[in-house]
Amino acid sequence: MPIDLSKVKEYSNIEMLAKQMVEGFITGLHKSPYHGFSVEFAEHRLYNTGESTRHIDWKVYAKTDRLYTKRYEEETNLRCQILIDNSSSMYYPEKTYGKIRFSIMAAACLAYMLQKQRDAVGISTFSEEIEWQSPVKSTPSHIHNLFVKLQQLFEQVPQYKKTSAAQVIHQIADKIHKRSLVIIFSDMLENTSQQEELFSALQHLKHNQHEVLLFHVVDEKTELNFEFAERPYEFIDLETNEKVKIHPNQIKEYYKENIVNKFQRLKLRCGQYKIDFIEADIGKSIDQILLPYLIKRQKMK
């Protein structure tokens, strides 16, 4: 059942909706697509009489005069970095901010699912540069803090900000020192002249042995098929505020040919680099986009 993104505003709780969605459509997976091998400290809990004293935290006892044990959680070998494009073009369509809101909710679902599987998750937002970057952890408190940030991002007022995905991806590749899964949410609306640099940045991640998943977030109806009513429009570039008045039929075929060629090149390059390329049409429900990838990944294990 499709999730109405406007409900996030109504309930003002991305964390609740992410949990609801994950429990609803991901619990159908019979096993985790990821596998663990080590442990990390999670939290303290009161010591119960009869338990092993091996994990008692004696420093805490000295301060509080109460016995607490350290609780550990299994951690997988997976470390995940989620990148969310926060440039102006991601706030399209103007009435719904559909691309950025889809990206936020999909990222929230993945973060919650990964944490349930004891995976470490971090989130970064970017436009021309990295705007915000969290640590990579797997504790419940950390995931809650990520949800708080995503909630703030969901409610953020759009500003005129250009995209420099290539530059940011290079920076992220240099920052990640352990092999990771890198998930990118972006419309990849780089200038055509910068497309080779974008390919180089994606290859940089793969060269560093990272697994890369690109959610290409678009409004297929208008951005790919250029479906507009038969009347003149004033089109506005969301990243530069440049305006042009034109009738859609005058440029529709030319536009479609160019945009399809541009994104087809991106898809082909991702295939060459063994990058998972997911066409994320915001006209579809989140489960329609996420679930096929998760099933595919599960079968690969």
Greater model confidence, 116 or 88: 88
Domains with residue ranges and CATH for the chain: 6-33+77-300 (3.40.50.410), 36-74 (no CATH)
Cβ-contact 42, 72 below 8 angstroms: yes
| Residue 186 reports pLDDT greater than 60 | yes
Q: Phi, psi (5° rounding) for residue 9?
A: -65, -40
**Residue 298 pLDDT greater than 70, yes or no:** no
- CA 263 vs CA 72, 103, 156: distances in Å: 45, 18, 28
CB 123, CB 130: distance < 8 Å: no
Residue 275, number of CB atoms within 10 A of its CB: 21
Supply φ then ψ for residue 146, to 5 degrees. Answer: -65, -40
Q: Could you report the per-residue pLDDT of 110-167, keeping only the tens digit for each?
A: 999 888 888 899 999 999 999 999 999 989 999 999 999 999 999 887 778 888 899 9
List Cβ neighbours of 16 (8 Å cut-off, separation of 6 or more). none
Residue 135, pLDDT score:
95
Nearest to 134 by CA among 85, 175, 81, 184: 81
Structure tokens at 52: 């092993």
Confidence of residue 74 (pLDDT cuts 50, 70, 90): very low
Peptide bond into 232 cis (omega under 30): no
What is the mean pLDDT of the segment spanning 99-109? 94
Per-residue confidence at 26, pLDDT binned at 50, 70, 90? low
pLDDT at 210: 93
Identify the residue whose tokens are 């990944």.
297
Angle at 163 between CA 160 and CA 164, to 5 degrees: 140
pLDDT category, 174, cuts 50, 70, 90?
very high
Q: Reply yes or no on whether the pLDDT at 7 is more than 50.
A: yes
Q: Which of 10, 35, 226, 25 is nearest to 109 (CA)?
A: 25
**How much is the CA Rg of the chain, to the nearest whole Å?**
22
- 301, with CB counted inside 10 A (0-12, 13-18, 19+), is exposed
Tokens at 89, concatenated = 């073009």
As a whole number of angstroms, the distance between CA 265 and CA 269 comes to 6
Q: Is the pLDDT of residue 35 over 50?
A: no
What's the chain's average pLDDT? Answer: 84
Residue 92 in contact with residue 238, Cβ under 8 Å?
yes
Q: Which amino acid is at 85?
A: D
Of the candidates 212, 238, 202, the residue with the CA atom closest to the CA atom of residue 94: 238
Confidence of residue 39 (pLDDT cuts 50, 70, 90): very low
- 220 phi, psi to nearest 5 deg: -55, -40
193-249: pLDDT as tens digits: 678 899 999 999 999 999 999 999 999 999 999 999 999 999 988 887 889 999 999
Higher pLDDT, 186 or 190: 186
